[in-house]
Amino acid sequence: MNIIVTDTYEDMSRKAADIIAAHIKENPACVLGLATGSTPIGLYANLVDKCAKGLITFANVTTFNLDEYRGLTADNTQSYRYFMQHHLFDHVDIDICNTHVPDGVALDVDAACAAYEQAIQKAGGIDVQLLGLGHNGHIGFNEPSESFPLATHRVKLTQSTIQANSRLFLSADEVPREAYTMGIGTIMAAKEILVVASGSDKAAIVRDASSGPVTPFVPASVLQFHPRVTLVLDKDAASCLK
């Protein structure tokens, strides 16, 4: 793993945005895997800024998001589709038809998951997958469990994830109990992976994911088996690394 440690959250966001921008410049038709959550917000702001300055264009970029809550429509302000519109898609020159977020209200769950996988394949696979890290080691909504799920699927959220995500809802009761997520296999098939983490509350999981035992009980630990992973951390998130 390539580990980059920055002083601040802002530096982490700039560095990670530079890495994604370099991919877009090298291959303007690249396929990006994207994440939501608090951590990439600064990164997306940097990408919006670069696009406004004409340094990059999303005109030919295709995106696939990791996950979506089950039961939330795209216009629900808590949905991940809404998050992506608000933080990135509405502010760059991307063709909205080239942006993909799992359909939170799909009626046929299995068909929707299979179609998502097929769409990724049809696009030629993911060139760079952006990931945040859950405190319990989840990536996407792949929660700790006894095995690594392969493909896009429906999941039940753990109590710890419901609690962690309740900060964005009126109460924990409002947090959907299920979600759709790319599988670990989907994520590991990306040609390159970029992980961002910030804050001392992520320090222990950053250590466990990057140098602890590889186990589905710490889903992010599987990234140790991927040949091209870059972690961009602020110094607080890196504070438990040797």
Nearest to 35 by CA among 220, 205, 241, 210: 220
60 has catalytic annotation: no
Cβ-based burial of 142 (10 A; exposed 0-12, middle 13-18, buried ≥19): buried
Q: Which of 46, 67, 103, 208 is catalytic?
A: 67
CB of 123 to ligand F6R, least distance (A): 19
The nearer residue to ligand F6R, 51 or 220, going by C-beta atoms, is 220
Q: Which region, judged by CB under 6 A, interacts with ligand F6R, from 33-41, 85-93, 144-152, 234-242? A: 33-41
Residue 229 binding ligand F6R, by CB under 6 A = no
136 has catalytic annotation: yes
Q: How far apart are CA 74 and CA 65, in angstroms?
A: 13
146 has catalytic annotation: no
68 has catalytic annotation: no
Residue 104 binding ligand F6R, by CB under 6 A = no
Q: How far apart are CA 101 and CA 123, in angstroms?
A: 14
Residue 208 binding ligand F6R, by CB under 6 A = no
Residue 176 binding ligand F6R, by CB under 6 A = no
Q: Classify residue 80 as left (phi > 0), alpha (psi -120 to 50) or beta.
A: alpha
Q: How far apart are CA 138 and CA 41, in angstroms?
A: 19
**Which parts of 110-149 interact with ligand F6R (CB under 6 A)?**
132-134, 138-140
The nearer residue to ligand F6R, 28 or 189, going by C-beta atoms, is 189
Q: What are phi and psi of 34, to 5 degrees?
A: -120, 160
Residue ranges in contact with ligand F6R by CB under 6 A: 35-39, 66-67, 80, 132-134, 138-140
